[in-house]
Structure 1
Amino acid sequence: MKCLFMFKYKTLRDLVYDYIGQQLRAGVINPTSTIKETALSEELSISRTPVREALIQLAGEGLLESVPHKGFYIRTLTETEAQELFVVIGHLEGLAARLSLGNIQEQDIAAMKMHIGMMNAAIMADDVEMYLEVQDKFHNIYLNKCANRTLSETLERLKNRLFRHHYQAMSKDERKKFLLGLNDEHTRICELFAMRDSTAIERYLVDVHWNPAEAVYEVLG
């Protein structure tokens, strides 16, 4: 039987890379602050080598900028770059969803519904970090079943370039409305998986969930 889940041993550098990427996407790291190698290694209680390697990798992928003798800064996206990312991510995630459909079981649909409920709870509690964590788990249910590691890793790398600082800039009511709208989209994605409609899932991810018109929210001021 073909293994549907793609396991990969992660080095310490990989774990640091994932951690920094999560912090960036959740808006925990201020876009104007310096990311210092020494401070990060102390925070994580590890040596500087894997931290340095992870920061260099993130800089190489365009997430960070390295300034000699100062440290690393978040590389801001232009509106055009953000729109281009949305187009690419939408098509790749649509492809991943279509590839995964034959591997999605009823328990996966149930897990999606559970995560939608958890996201709603996080929204009502105004817990953005928890919302983003559960959102990743929701999407990973089908991304992990597309049986294409290259596709999954490419999507992860591209998504790491998207940040969520605009959530913090919104008022509580604006943030609640915005995130509830996104979670309505998650509900629709789940419904389409339950209907086993691969074409509709793919088009919805491309045209709605990753609509380039929404990319303006990814541009940092």
Structure 2
Amino acid sequence: MFLFYFLYKYFTNLSFRDEVYQTLKKAIIMLKLEPGQRLNDKELAEDFGISRTPVREALKRLEDEGLVESVPGSATRVTPLKPEEAKHAFIVVAALHSLAARLAVPLLKDSDIKMMEVSNNNLKVSLEQNDIIQAIQADESFHDVFLNAVGNSEIRLALARIVPKVHRLEISQFGSIKAFKSVEQHNQIIVACQKRDSKETSRLVEENWLSLGELLIKQTD
């Protein structure tokens, strides 16, 4: 099922290993590969039309990130959704985004705040249309304003490792939650940014992520 996508990307000169990794990661986050689903490196290599080595390397990277796990006496599988681990992930994500916001506020331009307003409106529309993918992208765009302003690669690297776990839970529970609270919370964050209040913005950003995490985890109990 991955072959045609892979061939397209192959001609953009991405390495086998990186392309397999990115494709499998996306499939896991989007729940195309379901929690608990077994992953056979031989079968995946046949799907991609490549040798097993890049597949094994990709699976190892995904295991290091907690998206794949090896079960003794069984094949590698997609890591099941675990509410307790998700709770821990949201705490870290909230803290990192809060830090980015606190550092970013003094650096924000009027155009940055305008971008936040546009992203939040896109989030509202996506939620109204029940489009989880667009909603996640709009939410990322909103918070990326802070990350871009700060330009701290260490914060981005740390988030890149954890956020996929958060997105997987968001997608799995999207149909059963009411996420419009985030839109209003974003509006409050924008007002704090307009006032150039770093402390309040940081607090609101952390609250935004933690409240979403609590809501999603409650649905999995």
TM-score w.r.t. length of structure 2: 0.74
SS of the residue 1:29 aligns to: coil
- Of 95, 98, 102, the residue aligned with 1:94 is 98
Deviation string, structure 1 residues 120-140 (Cα, Å, up to 9, x no partner): 222222111221122222222
Distance 1:98 1:56, change over 3 A: same
The answer for the alignment partner of 1:152 in structure 2 is 156
SS of the residue 1:65 aligns to: strand
Q: Which moved more, 1:19-28 or 1:149-158?
A: 19-28
Between the aligned partners of 1:137 and 1:103, the Cα distance in structure 2 is 17
Q: Can you give the 5+ residue segments of structure 1 that lack an aligned partner in the other structure?
A: 1-9
The answer for the alignment partner of 1:131 in structure 2 is 135
CA contact (8 A) 2:97 2:143 kept: no
Aligned ranges for residues 1-221 of structure 1 at < 5 Å?
13-14=17-18, 16-37=20-41, 48-67=52-71, 70-79=75-84, 81-165=85-169, 167-168=171-172, 171=175, 174-175=176-177, 178-211=178-211, 213-214=214-215, 216-217=217-218, 219=220
Deviation string, structure 1 residues 152-171 (Cα, Å, up to 9, x no partner): 11012111222445655565
Larger Rg: 2
Distance 1:51 1:143, change over 3 A: farther
Would you tell me which structure has more helix in proportion to its own residues?
A: 2
Q: Can you give the 5+ residue segments of structure 2 that lack an aligned partner in the other structure?
A: 1-13
CA contact (8 A) 1:27 1:163 kept: no
The alpha carbon displacement at 1:203 in A equals 1.1
Aligned length, in residue pairs: 206
CA contact (8 A) 2:28 2:78 kept: no
Q: Which moved more, 1:111-120 or 1:36-45?
A: 36-45
Amino acid across the alignment from 1:207: E
Between the aligned partners of 1:165 and 1:82, the Cα distance in structure 2 is 8
CA contact (8 A) 2:90 2:209 kept: no
TM-score w.r.t. length of structure 1: 0.74
Q: Which moved more, 1:154-163 or 1:63-72?
A: 63-72
Amino acid across the alignment from 1:109: I
The alpha carbon displacement at 1:213 in A equals 3.4
The alpha carbon displacement at 1:77 in A equals 2.0
Between the aligned partners of 1:103 and 1:50, the Cα distance in structure 2 is 42
Identity of aligned residues (%): 26
